[in-house]
Structures are given as C-alpha cells and as structure tokens.
A and B are shown apart, each in its own frame.
Chain A
C-alpha cells in the first residue's frame, strides 16, 4: 500500500454520532406531537402558519449565511426548531405576514446579529413572540376557539380569551366556570398553537429526556417554583388567586419550561446555574401572572433570565479559577 494515501488527523479517531443536526432534529421530533395536536385543534390555519413560519425561518437563515459569507447552516435544524417554536407560540388566527415578520426578528435580529447559532443571548423564537405581542397586540391576543378538524381556511374562527386572560380581566369565578383541568391537560382550550395540550408537550419532553438532550434541572425548578409560589397565594386567598394546578396547565408554562428555557445556547452550563436559572424563570413567571399587566409571563421571564446567563456562567468560571489557585498555593 502506498503510504502517500495515509491521512493524519487528531485523536480521537472515533467520534460519537451526535451532531448539531441530530440534536436539532430530535428537538423538532419532540415538538411533533404538539404540532399535530395543534393542527387537530385549529385545523388548516395552524398547519399553514407552521409551514410558513418554518420556511421563512430557513429562508432567512440561508440569506444571512450568504450575507455573512458563512458556510451553509440553513439545514442544520436550528432554523427548523426556531420556526416550529415560533409557530407554537402564536395564535392560529395570526395573519401570515406577521409570522413572516416574526421569522425575520427571530433569525436576523436576534440570532445572526449576535453571530449566529451558539452566540445568541436570547431565545430567538421568544424574542419574535414578544416583538409580535408588543407590535400587534390585537392580533396576538385574538385566540381562536378549538374546532377539531376544521380544514376550511376561509372561515373565520370564533375567538375568545384564554383561561389566563379571563382570570386577569374577569376574575376567578368566571374563569372557574369555563375551565376544567382535564381540558387543560388534553389541550381543549384557547391559546397559542402549542400552549394548549400539556399531554402532547410532555410526551415530547419525555423523549428528549430519554435521549439525554435535555436534563430536568431547569424544567423541574421552573415548574416547581411556579407551583409553590402560586400555591402559597392560593392558600392565603383562594378567592383572588387561582389554584397552582390551573397555573400548571394554562398558558405556555409547559412549552416554555421544557422546550425554551432548556435551549442549550441560552441557558447556563452548570447544574448550579441551571437551578438558579429555572428558579428565576419560575418566580418571574408567577409574579407577572399574579400582578403583572400581561396575563401570561413565561416569555418575559425566560428572556429576562437569558440576560443573566453570562453572569451566571462567569460566576462558575471564577469559582473554577479560585479552586485552582487554592490548589496551587497548597501544593
């Protein structure tokens, strides 16, 4: 054999099969049950919205790679996940051009502006959601009532407030009359595409956990702290504050806790940091829900905590250095 053909590279010569693609496509797969559920509940509009969101995210990713003269990353799955999450975060009635603007905000203004995948400080899909909520408050709070198997795009869907919205504006009695926990768990309630069915989301999260793409540190502290905080106030005054179970199943808590707060790029690396991050998200969510101007707080909470991640990571870094210095002085 001619030794000329031998290639030299760095050890190790075996590598695991995990790649950015496998991580991202598994997240997308985990979101599939919730997406299917949303199409079942909200019909053709949900499907169309999801497709537009994904395609425009991938399109913007491709454009930005070209503009920044970077290797193609539009099919690495990260734009797909952002697109899916964006779709799951908006109501089915949202005009498609608004989704397109959302995709622009997510991919261009909050991801590539920071340097692309791995460098973004804030979760792109959440930035887009909050941008849309502030820019188009009416469209973003017009929640269609679930109408299973409505595949006619032309009809206007009946709209109504979400359970959290009812709670905020009309009080706990009205909310209690129109909401059952079972409906909340299965998803038969008003809300964004992905906010409705806790069951479908939990199935996806269980898959990610089983495949070890997420750990439970962030979701459990987040949900746990919301539960304890809202539970405390429910105990103090059940007439004003809804039960913690209600808070568990409504709004985007499950979606946010398992799929957006756990985003690797925008969450702390150490377990200690993740616990603080989860706790912060949970408390902020509860505070916004109980006393804030918005009925729902998880998006704001995660974005606020995203901005603390560099600080939390710096804390770990300094601890590592301190430990090292201590070792060197003793030895």
Chain B
C-alpha cells in the first residue's frame, strides 16, 4: 500500500459519521454570505440593502486574478452588507440575506445535465470561473486559476484527493460513496483539460474501503486508477499526496505543476461537474458535524452562509460539556469564539468538543526526545524552529526551512512536553511575511 515517505502520524480516526448518509439541511431564515471565502482578494459586493436576489445570482464579483465569484445561496432580500464574524476568526464583509422561503433558482441555472464533451477548454474553465469554484479541501484557492497553469508547465498527472486524513471528517467519504458518478465525471472534465497524456488518479486512504470499492468499479473502465493509501496523517496535504501516489517530491518554492501534477479535492470535482454540466454555481457543500459534544452527529448538505448556530440546532444542540467549537478538522481547524459565523466554501467540518484541561495546559521544557523531527512530513526540525521563533530571530529561522512548513501540526500532536510548536512556527511565518511586505511596499 502506498504512502508518503517522510514522517507522519496516526491520530485516533474518530470517524463517527462515516456511515451516516448526507442529510439536506433546510435553508434557514437568514444567511450570512462572506465576500472572502477563498485565498486572494475578497470579491466585490454587487448588491445593496433591499435588493431582491434569486438563488445562484451573482452577488459578489471576483476582484482581480486570484479571487472568486460569490453567489446568493437562496432567493430572498438583502438585509445588510457589513463586516460580520467570519470562521477565520476575524470580521469580513458579508451580505446578509433574508430568505423568502421559495428557494427559487435564477433563470438558466441548475439545468438538466448536458454533455460536456462538446465544450472547448476555454468554455469549461470559464464555467468553473463563473461558478465561483475554489478548492474545497480547506485552502480555497480559486479553481479556475489552478486549472490554467502556465503553458510551459506540462501536467501529466491529475490527482483527486480523497485521503480525508483529518480525524472526525467524513464529508468527502460520503460524497465518494453517494455521488461516485459525479466525482468521476468531474475528474474526467478536469483531466480532459490536459489532453490525452494526463493520467488520472483518485487517492483514498484504506480506512474508506467502501469508497475505494465504489469508485474502482466505475473508474477503471475509464482509465482512472483508484489508489488505496495507507492511513496516515497528513496524507491529504498536496505535497504528501503527490509523493504518496507518484513518488515525486515538491521542493521548496515549487508548486505541484512544476512536477507535472495537479491535485483537486473530491468536493471540488463534484462542484466542477455541476458547474460545467448543470450550470450550477457553488452555493452549497457537504459539512461533517461531529465531535463528542454534539447531540446528533451528521453529514449535512448546507447552503453557503448557513450559520453554525442554525446547524447546531439542526444537529440536536451541543451538550453542556462543550468548551470548544472548531471549524475544520481537529488538526488544522480553527477554534471559534462565536457560533455566529457562516459555512463558507471551505468549511469541511464543524466539531463540538470538550477540550478538557485546556485552562491548565502549559508548555513544558523540551526534553529533546526528537519525536517532532521524526514525524515532520517536510523533514524539518520543529523544536528548533519554535526555539528560534521564540527568540524572534527571523533571519535565522528562514535558514532553517520556515517556508517549507505546511502547518500540519503533527509536531505539536506528538510533543510530550506539550509545546505549541506549530503555533510558534505560524507566528514566525506571519511576522516574516509582514516584514517582507513592508520591505516591498
């Protein structure tokens, strides 16, 4: 069984929701749709208070090369356009939409599927761009940009990321099982952009055997290879997944297309299929609602902009022990200070947990056990990076490979001294970035 070469950990999988079919969550009375749900510049809002919109209508236009469109996720009336809490932990410009309850599509959207094979490359990428599709695994990089690499970079490998290595999350798993046709069709559309030469793979961790079986049956006649990967975190990280499947290593400063690879998330593939064949913009996504402290863990299909408070009510309310709510997975997610934030295009999970002892947790001294070095998938020395970050020596730290860190958190997971290693590394990265921006400005 294949896996990536360096490091990695195996935290408890805790996939409690893997056997629960996706439930459609009703559209709540009010939606909060942020203008930045992607990497890059936030979209420019096109609506004013009082505007009437239909489902799928453009309400935020991509602003610049790396940006993405935002659409109304239901029909209704705009109640406000103002900064509101965002799952990133900050405030972001948000369109508040009061639903009219009809959930009515705008004209020409969400049609009967058409055959995409007649479309040109430019038309396919144009549809992806119009639909506002971004990488739905978490990073949120605009998909149309990723699908148009510079002409001198030849893509020979297209990989669909079904690793879903984060504990708890099962959104991609359910999607692979319940929408395997759409997943495969989406992958075919993506691979077709790179001609006959591109070989398509779907990488799935072996703890999802049912998904591997379901996909293999349908994929192999089409020349798509489904690869069973040894369950190991962070297999779903782009660099690790490429290494696991092709054996190629993405060096510092390189992007996957430098090594002829393109990686897309399972959810993104389905969104691409829907955008290209059904002309459906990205207005909903699958979210895993889990953790030990939620009444009824579920996999739900929620429209973009659904508030976490509505989702928590839909899933049987949190238990009294809840002290943390996390957007994303437990390894790379973010702890929220309010449930008043919406589902965005990159919200893969919402976890309600009781992180006991969090008040008493303290960093102890490093006992030089070397575990962090052993598990670092990028071959770094996290203890050293953290030490140098604490000394605020931001020249030295770049010489230690700071930019190579993917912030997967494996080092912090294993540290017996409970040091906040990845936190210190992120801190150093942020300050190094600031300094460079100030220099170039």
Contact = CB atoms under 8 A, between A and B. Distances in A.
B28 interface: no
B252 A5 contact: no
A149 interface: no
Contacts of A267: 368
A7 B414 contact: no
B253 A320 contact: no
A23 B369 contact: yes
B160 to A, nearest CB: 25
A22 interface: yes
Interface centre among A16, A20, A269 (most CB of B within 10 A): A16
A12 B234 CA distance: 12
B417 A20 contact: yes
Contacts of B332: 11-12
Contacts of A6: 322-325, 335-339
- For chain B, the bracket of interface size reads 35 or more
A178 interface: no
A119 interface: yes
Interface string A161-181: 000000000000000000000
A7 B413 contact: no
A118 B178 CA distance: 52
Contact of B355 (A13, A117, A321): A13
Given A320-B381, A327-B252, A13 B324 contact: yes
A118 B366 CA distance: 6
Interface residues of A, number: 37
Interface string B384-419: 100000000000001111000000010011111110
Nearest to B426: A10
Contacts of A117: 365, 367
A71 B335 CA distance: 28
A14 B167 contact: yes
Contact of A13 (B330, B369, B398): B330
Contacts of B414: 16, 18
Contacts of A321: 399-400
Which 9 pairs across A and B sit closest by C-beta, in order of nearness? A118-B365, A12-B409, A10-B423, A331-B253, A18-B416, A13-B330, A12-B331, A321-B399, A3-B338
21 contacts: A5-B323, A6-B322, A8-B336, A9-B324, A9-B335, A10-B422, A13-B351, A14-B11, A15-B413, A16-B413, A71-B362, A118-B417, A269-B381, A270-B370, A270-B373, A317-B400, A320-B399, A320-B400, A325-B399, A327-B252, A327-B253
Interface of A: 1, 3, 5-16, 18-20, 22-23, 71, 116-119, 264-265, 267, 269-270, 317, 320-321, 324-325, 327-328, 331
Given A7-B358, A10-B420, A13-B335, 10 more contacts: A6-B336, A7-B324, A7-B359, A8-B336, A13-B324, A16-B9, A19-B418, A265-B368, A320-B399, A328-B253
